[in-house]
Amino acid sequence: MVGPQGSGKGTQGKALAKKLGFFYWEMGAVLRENRDWKFADGKSVAEIIESGGLLTDDRLLEVFKAKMEVIPKDQGVIFDGIPRRIGQAQFLMQTLKDQGRSIFVTIFLDIPKEESIRRLVLRGQIEGRADDTPEAIEYRLKQYEEATVPMLDFLRKETLFLDIDGTPSIPEVERVIEEAMEIKQQL
């Protein structure tokens, strides 16, 4: 699942994982679950994040690789929050191929910047999320434009790329994803 913040990646990813019996991988949750993970320099995931820092790709991918080892190789995985940059995408694809996985689909939930901002501000008001302030939203969308958008070309070449309009209602987007993936709804 790829798309700008507020595009519905989490909502759609969880629903699709449940429907398919796949493991749902949300990178933020994985990092929170592994907050005590220690790197070679002795720093933990929690120390880096709590100090306001971001994990380097090398550190993020170290956690990713270790966590992937415990997911059964015959179970599908829906990723949300990774990859965000070309280097992460290349590493992710290679790791999955090394595990013998061979079917790769990217679901790109596209929404306009204005809609992303509207949804995130609303989410911040409803959920009280500290990272959904106008300033934080602008910063995250700028990061998305600079790092994630260029990665989309790589994913278009390396995966079955499904470009989905994320602006309709949640059920409508879910239906479009199912149609695009040829998933039959269970009665």
Residue-level pLDDT at 95: 92
In 5-104 the beta strands, taken as DSSP E runs, fall at 23-26, 77-80
CATH label of the domain that carries residue 123: 3.40.50.300
- What pLDDT was estimated at residue 187? 39
123-176 pLDDT, tens digit each: 888 888 777 788 888 888 998 999 999 999 999 999 999 999 999 999 999 999
Q: How far apart are CA 61 and CA 88, in angstroms?
A: 7
Q: Is residue 47 part of a domain?
A: no
The 8-class DSSP code of residue 12 comes to H
Number of domains in the chain: 1
- 145-150 contacts at long range (C-beta below 8 A, 24 or more positions apart): 147/84, 147/85, 148/2, 148/4, 148/84, 148/85, 150/86
More confident residue, 186 or 70: 70
Query: Is 165 within a domain?
Result: yes
* 88, part of any domain: yes
Examine residue 67 and state whether it is found in any structural domain, yes or no: no
For 78, other C-beta atoms within 10 Å of its C-beta total 21
Task: Note whether residue 163 is domain-resident.
Answer: yes
Its domain, for residue 122, covers 9-25+74-181
**Does residue 50 belong to any structural domain of this protein?**
no
pLDDT over 50 (residue 119)? yes
**Residue 4 domain flag:** no
Residues with Cβ < 8 Å from 55, sequence gap 6 or more?
31, 45, 48, 49, 63
- What's residue 154's pLDDT? 96
Query: Which residues have a Cβ under 8 Å from the Cβ of 4 and sit 6 or more positions away?
Result: 110, 111, 113, 116, 141, 144, 148
**Is 37 contained in some domain?**
no
pLDDT in tens, 17-70: 999 999 999 988 888 888 898 898 888 988 887 776 778 888 888 889 888 988
Say which residues have a Cβ less than 8 Å from residue 66's Cβ, sequence separation at least 6: 37
